[in-house]
């Protein structure tokens, strides 16, 4: 259970650091309107993010209890699924993040989509094949 708490803290810290540039973007409507919209979107995003994390941690706990699967592999699978979901849905805060904009300007939208999909598939593969190797003892 301590491993899950550590992964949760690392995931929350990573998400906070990832969103800092988006938080300080300027808006032509003025600071008041921008902060009100930010607050509305932040609460919705926070609720959705907490629901997704709750689902991932619930699945990790269930897999640990029933199948004895190490939380590290569940975390890799969860990170891969999250990254793949964000790549496919392309929410504004993810797709217009400065790192994504840099990748999009360098290799184009299609190239960025392929790259992000490849990263998510690598994470999924590491998690799935790690589980298989862990369960079979190889």
Task: Determine the Cα angle at 123 with ends 119 and 125, to 5°.
Answer: 110
- pLDDT tens-digit series, residues 38-66: 666 777 777 777 888 888 788 777 877 88
Residue 48: Cβ within 10 Å count: 11
3-state secondary structure of 26: coil
Contact indicator for 76, 133 with CB cutoff of 8 Å: no
pLDDT confidence band for 94 (50 / 70 / 90): confident
> In this predicted model, which residue has the larger pLDDT, 26 or 101?
101
Q: List helix spans (H) across 68-97.
A: 71-89, 92-95
Region of poorest pLDDT, from 26-30, 64-68, 114-118: 26-30
What pTM value is reported for the model?
A: 0.59
117 pLDDT exceeds 90? yes
pLDDT confidence band for 16 (50 / 70 / 90): low
110 pLDDT exceeds 60? yes
Domain boundaries, the chain: 2-136
């Amino acid at each position: 259970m301590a491993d899950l708490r550590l992964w949760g803290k690392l995931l929350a810290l990573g998400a906070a650091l990832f969103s800092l540039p988006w938080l300080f973007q300027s808006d032509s409507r003025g600071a008041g309107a921008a902060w009100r919209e930010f607050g509305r979107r932040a609460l919705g995003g926070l609720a959705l993010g907490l629901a997704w994390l709750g689902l991932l941690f619930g699945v990790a706990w269930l897999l640990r209890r029933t199948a004895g699967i190490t939380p590290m592999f569940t975390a890799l699978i969860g990170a891969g699924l999250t990254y793949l979901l964000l790549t496919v849905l392309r929410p504004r805060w993810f797709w217009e993040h400065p790192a994504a904009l840099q990748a999009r300007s360098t290799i184009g939208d299609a190239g960025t989509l392929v790259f992000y999909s490849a990263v998510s598939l690598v994470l999924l593969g590491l998690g799935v094949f790690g589980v298989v190797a862990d369960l079979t003892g190889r």
